[in-house]
Structure 1
Amino acid sequence: MTFAGIDAEAGDDVPGLGACVGYIRDLAKPSAVDLLRDAARTGRPVLQPRCGVGGHEAMKRLLIELEEQAAPDLLTLTIDSHTRLRRFGEAQRILASDPARLNGYPLVSHGWRRGRELNAAVRAPLQVRHGSPDARELFVTAIASGITSFEGGGISYNLPYVKDVPLGESLRAWREIDRACGVLAGHGVVVERELFGTLTAVLMPPSISLAVSILEAVAAAGEGVTALTIAYPQGGNAVQDVAALRAVKVLAGRYVGDRAAVFPALHQFMGAFPRDLAKADALILFGGMVATWGRAAKVVVKTHREAFGIPDLAANVRGLRTTRVAVSGYLGAGFGVDEDAVAEETRWICQEVVELVEPVLQGDDLLSGIEKAFVAGRLDVPFSASVHAHNAVLPRRDATGAIRYADPGGLPFSATTRRRNDDLLAASPGHGVMNPAGLIEAIRADVEHFAT
């Protein structure tokens, strides 16, 4: 089928563009972008849990109960792995036999009518979160369901998730999605596109996260996307995390301009969580406070059960309530972060991002420029699952817990940037260790920074 310029294999019964636009316009609820604009104006970020199960009735019940018990501003349909990889037949087979085996909701298999049923069951808008390098069928089904918040991008939903999908393929597939968003915008329907700067979420240097998102944002805005969320993963050092969130506005102003509204979002810590529930709750509270200090428009919420497996309803409710306290102003405004240190760190993060993206943006074709940069190692994602990333970047924590570059690999950083990273790492535990066993142990300690 063809929908708003997308050539998709599935969903032949999906309504046409006009019918989808009419349905979305008639929805009696705010959109995700409405909420983000309010958050940017008031300073009170949108709260969103992650959730997704295979069965339709179980998914509907989970959404309703989350809304009844915790009142999240935005709700999630997390999509299963088979749908992410376009294995629609396999998703359908498991759905028919044992839906509980699916690690998310197979929206394409359930179809847009059931998607609309979920949308109608709750007051909050829905966002589709997934991890697909080619999400065209999923996007069409989401729009037909009335869901106008859709996460992903050609880099961020490829390199962290799959082993061998060429970047050119994923970039072109996501270009079709972004182009469809431009068509929808022309009909008065704004699709909020969130860019997954979290990437692998393992010791992710802020400048890699933001550089990838900025490149995806420029590509999306060039196709007509008018609302973008740049998501950043909490690293654990408050000054660095606040600086990275504030850098989003600076960089968006420089590279996106007025072509699209851009909102910063924080993913609460996605690394190894402490098993002690009190410490886990404290880490979640800390994430909410960092989001407020960094002026994030949204917080994607974690739970105190992260160290034990998939969180249940009660854990999600508790995570949302804990985060709501952090962002509510209940704790007062008498403390925060060193603003001078934040300003300095913001300046350096922006400088690193500029050094990464400027060579790519100077080419004639952005998508081919991105491909070439990854082939050459001038762009890279540490701890990537993909053969199309060099994995040559070695991040480490400095003595304050901030994430730096122990080895930038082939990233085109200036001598000044390299020297600053070296200087900041000089006092870190295990700095200068050359033997592999010692280095692995030092990196493991950095990864498990909060786990003990």
Structure 2
Amino acid sequence: MAWKTVHLMAQKQELPTLADTCHFIKSLNKPCVAQLLAEAKGRGTVAVQPRSGVGGHDEMLELLSRIEAEANPDILTLTIDSYSRLGRFDHASRILHTNPAALNGYPLVSHGWRRGRDLNERTKQPLDIRHGSPIADHLFETAIASGITSFEGGGIAYNLPYAKKVPLEESIASWRRIDHICGELADQGIIVSREMFGTLTAVLIPPSTSLAITFLEAISAARDGVRCLLIAYPQGGNSLQDIAALRSIESLARRYLPLGPSVYPVLHQYMGPFPRDKAKASALILLGGLVAKLGGAAKVVTKTYEEALGIPTVEANVDGIRLTRCALARIFDFIELDEAAIAEEMRWIEREVVELIDPIVGVGDFHKAIVEAFKAGRLDVPFSPSIFTLGDVIPVRDPQGAIRYLSCAGLPFSETTRRRNRESLRETTAPKEKLRQIARDVHFFADQSDVYLL
């Protein structure tokens, strides 16, 4: 898809030309995310990024400025409001003009690209767009016109966990258009970082499901011209398994993206139900930082001690960044891991990923094969609201808290893989007990009196 001039639904702002946009991006006196991650990787450090988003423009600028001044994160976030995520730009605009505080994020399309540029010019660190849009063309075009060159999401992971009735064919087509524009921009010397959202529905996501979907999206993006890919993995709760999953990303990138773009592992700190107690929540954030460090993540996206209470304050956001940086400090270099156990877990995670996506990667019509795999249950997303995935896979935790498949359903796993999952799980026979176990596993940290670090 070529760059095009469009009139946005809410503000009716005509987009600038591609040449003007490229000139503005190159004129910004700040690194892009791709450059920042490359430098961090060279130093062996982990970039830190908070989540943040409010409705009003002045309020958004104040939020970004305070986080930047008080915590100095490496990357700043524009979290988009839920109406804009689903393309309801006119509705977002009405609320913006009547009660912006009622929006749960920044409606970038409604504000328009000129205000996006204002945020970009008045902050020091690069901006990243985090949202959840199955159809993201307008939002992406507005972000790029704003000079923002980091954009999260994909046609699978930003559809099935977020929407009920958006066909995969439509969301994949939207994200392919976006990735084609990324390729065009790369030819002009503008590298757009594309982060694949492995968190999915956020709780009880087996590592191989997360990585299989993110790598399918990454393969598609690379084929369409994307030069910088971030593979995001959600902290699951068992540190050994989480570290193994993060370390597996590099190995899987060598297998599926051998001559393609730069690939960086990302950890999202725990996305499930958080403890309401501040001390326990802080311990969980510290754990997330340690997992990112020990797993070799290039970036960690932070949480706050107010996660269980609602939209966090600036103070909580700053505290979460600082606490995460404590976990990343060299003082924890002394920690020794059971490397043999991590290697064994990596071997099984990578085997499961290969069994899930190898039958798709080699097919002539790659994107059609993805859609057909979800229809047939050969790919699945647990707890998804979408009618375009079966939802037959049932994950639970093993006695150590690692996430396993209680039911593999139609996933194309070998009998060896299925047996290993069966053998990892404690016996539960009664259906009611299985439901209680799943509920306990979802609330793994929220209900715990202690957080087990390693």
Is the TM-score greater than 0.5? yes
Q: Which position in structure 1 is the counterpart of 2:388?
A: 388
Aligned residue runs from structure 1 range 422-437, under 5 A: 422-426=422-426, 431-435=427-431, 437=432
Aligned residue runs from structure 1 range 401-416, under 5 A: 401-416=401-416
Residue aligned with 2:267, SS: strand
Q: Which position in structure 1 is the counterpart of 2:3?
A: 4
Aligned residue runs from structure 1 range 106-185, under 5 A: 106-185=107-186
Instruction: Check if 1:337 corresponds to 2:372.
Output: no
Tell me if structure 2 keeps the 8 A contact 1:149–1:193. Answer: yes
Residue aligned with 2:125, SS: coil
Tell me if structure 2 keeps the 8 A contact 1:406–1:425. Answer: yes
Instruction: Quote the offset at 1:6 in angstroms.
Output: 8.7
Tell me if structure 2 keeps the 8 A contact 1:185–1:226. Answer: yes
Tell me if structure 1 keeps the 8 A contact 2:6–2:14. Answer: no
Aligned residue runs from structure 1 range 91-102, under 5 A: 91-102=92-103
Aligned residue runs from structure 1 range 46-445, under 5 A: 46-329=47-330, 331-426=331-426, 431-435=427-431, 437-445=432-440
TM score, norm. by length of structure 2: 0.96
Aligned pairs, number = 445
Tell me if structure 1 keeps the 8 A contact 2:269–2:300. Answer: yes
Q: Which position in structure 1 is the counterpart of 2:44?
A: 43
Measured in 1, the distance between the counterparts of 2:258 and 2:13 equals 38
Measured in 2, the distance between the counterparts of 1:159 and 1:213 equals 13
Query: 1:268-321 CA deviation, whole Å, 9 max, x = no partner?
Result: 011111122111111101110110011000000001111212211111011000
Tell me if structure 1 keeps the 8 A contact 2:7–2:15. Answer: no
The counterpart of 1:446, out of the listed 441, 445, 448, is 441
Query: 1:216-246 CA deviation, whole Å, 9 max, x = no partner?
Result: 0000000000000000000011110011001
Say if 1:6 and 1:136 are closer, same or farther in 2 by CA, change over 3 A.
Answer: farther
Instruction: Quote the offset at 1:9 in angstroms.
Output: 5.5
Measured in 2, the distance between the counterparts of 1:349 and 1:206 equals 7
**Residue type of the partner of 1:4?**
W
Instruction: Quote the offset at 1:337 in angstroms.
Output: 2.2
Measured in 1, the distance between the counterparts of 2:34 and 2:121 equals 18
Instruction: Quote the offset at 1:53 in angstroms.
Output: 0.5
| 269-278 vs 228-237, greater mean Cα deviation | 269-278
Instruction: Quote the offset at 1:141 in angstroms.
Output: 0.6
Measured in 2, the distance between the counterparts of 1:12 and 1:51 equals 25
Query: 1:300-357 CA deviation, whole Å, 9 max, x = no partner?
Result: 000111121221111101100000010121x332114211111111111000000000
Measured in 1, the distance between the counterparts of 2:440 and 2:86 equals 33
Measured in 2, the distance between the counterparts of 1:98 and 1:337 equals 51
Tell me if structure 1 keeps the 8 A contact 2:268–2:301. Answer: yes
Residue aligned with 2:259, SS: helix
**Residue type of the partner of 1:420?**
R
Measured in 1, the distance between the counterparts of 2:443 and 2:2 equals 45
Gap regions ≥5 residues in structure 2: 448-454
Instruction: Quote the offset at 1:144 in angstroms.
Output: 0.7
Measured in 1, the distance between the counterparts of 2:50 and 2:428 equals 40
Measured in 2, the distance between the counterparts of 1:376 and 1:256 equals 26
Measured in 1, the distance between the counterparts of 2:283 and 2:161 equals 28
Q: Output the aligned Cα RMSD.
A: 1.3
**Residue type of the partner of 1:418?**
R
**Residue type of the partner of 2:424?**
L
**Residue type of the partner of 1:49?**
P
Measured in 2, the distance between the counterparts of 1:58 and 1:335 equals 41
Instruction: Check if 1:15 corresponds to 2:11.
Output: no
Tell me if structure 1 keeps the 8 A contact 2:37–2:298. Answer: yes
Say if 1:432 and 1:332 are closer, same or farther in 2 by CA, change over 3 A.
Answer: closer
Residue aligned with 1:109, SS: helix
Say if 1:336 and 1:280 are closer, same or farther in 2 by CA, change over 3 A.
Answer: farther
Identity %: 55
Tell me if structure 2 keeps the 8 A contact 1:3–1:17. Answer: no
**Residue type of the partner of 1:386?**
S
Residue aligned with 1:262, SS: strand
Measured in 1, the distance between the counterparts of 2:131 and 2:276 equals 26
| 52-61 vs 3-12, greater mean Cα deviation | 3-12
Query: 1:339-378 CA deviation, whole Å, 9 max, x = no partner?
Result: 1111111111000000000111121111101000000000
TM score, norm. by length of structure 1: 0.96
Query: 1:124-171 CA deviation, whole Å, 9 max, x = no partner?
Result: 100000000111011111011110000000000000001110000000
Measured in 1, the distance between the counterparts of 2:332 and 2:21 equals 45
**Residue type of the partner of 1:343?**
A
Measured in 1, the distance between the counterparts of 2:32 and 2:183 equals 17
Residue aligned with 1:54, SS: coil
Measured in 2, the distance between the counterparts of 1:414 and 1:42 equals 40
Instruction: Quote the offset at 1:432 in angstroms.
Output: 2.1
Measured in 2, the distance between the counterparts of 1:8 and 1:371 equals 31
